[in-house]
Amino acid sequence: MPGNKNIKLYSKNLSFFYGNNQAVFDVSIEIPQHSIVAMIGPSGCGKTTFLRCFNRMHDLYPGNRYQGEIFFDNQNILSKNIDVTLLRSKIGMVFQKPTPFPMSISDNISYGLKLNGIKNKTEIKDRVESALRSSALWKEVKDRLKLPATGLSGGQQQRLVIARALAVEPQVMLFDEPTSALDPISTSKIEELAAELKKKVTIIIVTHNMQQAARISDYTAFMYMGKLIEYDETNVMFTNPQEKLSEDYITGRFG
Amino acid sequence: MERLRKRKIQNNIAIGFSLLASIIGLFWLVFILFDVLRHGLSFFDLNLFIEDPAPPGFEGGGMRNAFIGQFMITGCAIVIGIPFGILGGTFLSEYGRMTKIGRLISVISDIMISVPTIVVGTFIYSLMVKPLGHFSGWAGSVSLAMIMIPVTLRTTEDMMSLVPWSIREAAFALGAPYYKVIIQVVYRGAIAGILTGILLSIARIAGETAPLLFTSFNNSFISLNMEEPMASLTVTIFQYATGPYDDWHAMAWAASFVIILAILLLTVLGRLLVIFKYSSK
């Protein structure tokens, strides 16, 4: 467990149910500020489900139920009187497949800004540029900001989506296998980006790729069958895991 | 080898039959179009649009009243029908997506699409014409709108469902409320398809006669009052084509030509929208 660092986000005995199916069991985890936490585990172990609890994405579908607590800046975000749209502007998310909106590159980014009530055109323009710069996309797209975002390559789309999420200045970013649909070069660009981003935001990343977790994360959590098996600093997890299950998974004996 | 040859023969027979069927189908279509074109063009002149009908037995005259009536009835039908169709489709694809009432509406709307239009006409007759005591342009518009609603509703729902859920989730994840997700993201993704659906549904009602017979009826004089019986192209064609005078027949041909041309343009425009959408990607 992380030592006495500044804890940005933590869950306490969190369980999650799809209808009657329990997908997450009693998970307690602390996410230190300005760090990257990787969630690893075999397919269907509940890591994506767990991740989607942090921005209440499950609220979109009927019949889902949370149990336990998640604290974000010392506020329980699972409580009923939380403004979910406000929460989601503070906790951004990037999905497995790139999700550009059917509009131009710059409109994709200004969308979130406008949602947050920014109307001043020069401010929007500046923030579009700085968001694109911080996701290392500016040089590639600066001459075609008005063209449809769907014309970009997969890797560029994913960086655009990251820029879009960054533009609203979230404090936490949730990455749900952000590179699983990308080629190695785009993947390394996004990994570099994540390393850069952690100066500003706290990152939780779900990944199937253990090398990726080892490369970019400060802490690694291993989940299995909806339970958190082990959580420690990444170099400890990958060199000296305490649990037999984690060791078996990390060394590739199953999963 | 034997089996392979047999398969080739079977294949050729199947191709032969489907070719034959499409030729038979197309033949009549081309025949009708050509006939309308031939007759229609020979009677087609400017008077058709700028003159009202001459009394029986007199030469000349046009169908200005029918053109204007058709425009007004169809226009009002569009204004009434499109919002219901789009909002209904939005409900089915979004808010009512997983509800029983949503599925029920969906099934009913499918049935409505295949209801004979004359039934819609008699329905509006008993609802609007009989109680008010007279035919009216409004009744015509409402009956056409009722034919439009299920068509636009269904296409809107289908086109919106084609926008992947991951796109909606991404918009939600930025902190967008649902109505903004729908208006700014889903509609934008589905707009070309929805517009196509609207154009096709307009083309569909532009050629309807049966529901108007019972509702807006006809009017030999020009009228801009939707409270009164109103002329429409289709009913006028019906009346002229079944009438006893040769020049009536001629005008019916010309009007048929105009209406087919209009529907053709709408349909082509709809197709172009689809092509435009897919080429812009």
pLDDT tens for the 255 residues of chain A, in order:
555 568 889 999 999 999 999 999 999 999 999 999 999 999 989 999 999 999 999 998 888 999 999 999 889 999 988 999 999 999 999 999 999 999 999 999 999 999 988 889 999 999 999 999 888 899 999 999 999 999 999 989 999 999 999 899 899 999 999 998 888 888 888 899 899 889 989 999 999 889 999 999 999 999 999 999 999 999 999 999 999 999 999 888 876
Check B177 against A85: CB less than 8 A apart: yes
Please indicate if any CB of chain B lies within 8 Å of the CB of A178: no
**CB of A222 within 8 A of CB of A45?**
no
Closest CA to A92 of B177, B172, B174: B174
Could you give all domains of chain A from N- to C-terminal order, each with its CATH number?
Answer: 7-250 (3.40.50.300)
Tell me if chain B has a CB within 8 Å of the CB of A115: yes
Which parts of chain B register pLDDT below 50? 281
A29's enclosing H/E stretch is strand A21-32
Order of strands, edge to edge, in the sheet holding A36-40? A75-76, A64-72, A7-18, A21-32, A227-233, A219-224, A36-40, A202-206, A172-176, A91-94
Check B173 against A57: CB less than 8 A apart. yes
- Chain B CB contacts of A85 below 8 Å: 175-177
What is the predicted pLDDT for the residue at B281?
44
Whether the CB of A55 is below 8 Å from some CB of chain B: the reply is yes
- Which A positions 139-158 lie with beta carbon below 8 A of chain B? 148, 150-151
What CA–CA distance (Å, rounded) separates A234 from A221? 8
Q: Sketch the domain layout of chain B as residue ranges.
A: 2-42, 48-279
H helix intervals, chain B: 2-43, 47-50, 64-93, 100-114, 117-124, 130-132, 137-161, 165-173, 178-180, 187-206, 210-213, 233-241, 246-279
* CB nearest B175 (choices: A85, A97, A148): A85
Chain B contact for A25 (CB, 8 A cutoff): no
| Distance to chain A for B116, nearest Cα, Å | 38
Q: Are A72 and A21 in contact (CB under 8 A)?
A: no
For chain B, how many residues are written?
Answer: 281
CA-based nearest residue in chain A for residue B167? A99
Predicted confidence at residue A38, as pLDDT, reads 95
B279 inside 8 A of chain A by CB: no
Q: Which residue of B has its CA nearest to A85?
A: B175
Contacts by residues B83-88 (CB-CB < 8 Å, ≥ 24 positions apart): B84/B145, B84/B149, B84/B152, B84/B153, B85/B148, B85/B149, B85/B150, B85/B151, B85/B152, B85/B153, B85/B156, B85/B198, B85/B201, B86/B152, B86/B153, B86/B156, B86/B194, B88/B149, B88/B153, B88/B156, B88/B157
- The one-letter amino acid code at B148 reads M
Residues A70-128 pLDDT 10s: 999 889 999 988 999 999 999 999 999 999 999 999 999 999 999 988 889 999 999 99
* Identity of the residue in B170, B180, B188 whose CB atom sits nearest the CB atom of A99: B170
Q: Which of B98, B166, B175 has its CB closest to that of A97?
A: B166
Chain B CB within 8 Å of residue A88 CB: yes
Token pair for B118: 């004359």
- CA separation, residue A174 to residues A188, A215, B92, B122, B233 (Å): 18, 17, 31, 59, 61
Q: In this structure, are residues A39 and A223 in contact, taking their beta carbons and an 8 Å threshold?
A: yes
Give me the pLDDT at residue A1, please. Answer: 53
Residue with the two structure tokens 């172990």: A45
- Is A92's CB within 8 Å of B177's CB? no
Q: How close, in Å, is residue A162 to chain B by CA atoms?
A: 11
User: Out of B167, B177, B280, whose CB is closest to A101?
Assistant: B167
* Residue B84 CB partners (closer than 8 Å, separation 6+): B145, B149, B152, B153
Mean pLDDT of chain A: 91
Helix (H, G, I), strand (E, B) or coil at A129: helix
List CB contacts (< 8 A) between B174 and chain A.
Answer: 88-89, 92, 111-112, 115, 164-165, 168
> How far apart are alpha carbons B173 and A84 in whole angstroms?
10
Alpha-carbon gap: B280 to the closest alpha carbon of chain A (Å): 8
CA distance linking residue A137 with residue A154, whole number of Å = 13
Amino acid identity for residue B281 in this structure: K
Q: What is the largest CA-CA distance in chain B?
A: 77
Polymer length in residues for chain A: 255
User: In whole angstroms, how far apart are CA A240 and each of A137, A216, A222, A224, A250?
Assistant: 38, 18, 13, 18, 10
* Residue B146 near chain A (CB below 8 Å): no
Full-model pTM: 0.82
Query: Are B172 and A102 inside 8 Å of each other by CB?
Result: no
| Residue A60 forms contact with B (CB below 8 Å) | yes
Q: Name the residue facing A102 among B166, B177, B189 (closest C-beta).
A: B189
**Considering only CB atoms, which chain B residues are within 8 Å of A93?**
169-170, 173
Integer Cα distance of B143 and B225 in angstroms: 17
Nearest to B98 among A62, A88, A115 (CB): A62
Say whether domain B48-279 belongs to CATH 3.20.20.120: no
- With an 8 Å Cβ cutoff, are B175 and A88 in contact? yes
Q: Which residues of A touch B98 (CB under 8 A)?
A: 62
So what's the pLDDT on residue B56?
Answer: 73
Count how many pairs of residues, chain A against chain B, have C-beta atoms within 8 Å: 68
Among A101, A107, A111, the strongest candidate for a mutation testing the B interface, having the largest count of B CBs within 10 A, is: A101
Q: Considering CB atoms only, which of B175, B189, B281 is closest to A86?
A: B175
Asked if the C-beta of A173 comes within 8 angstroms of chain B's C-beta atoms, the answer is no
Residue of chain B with shortest Cα separation from A99:
B167
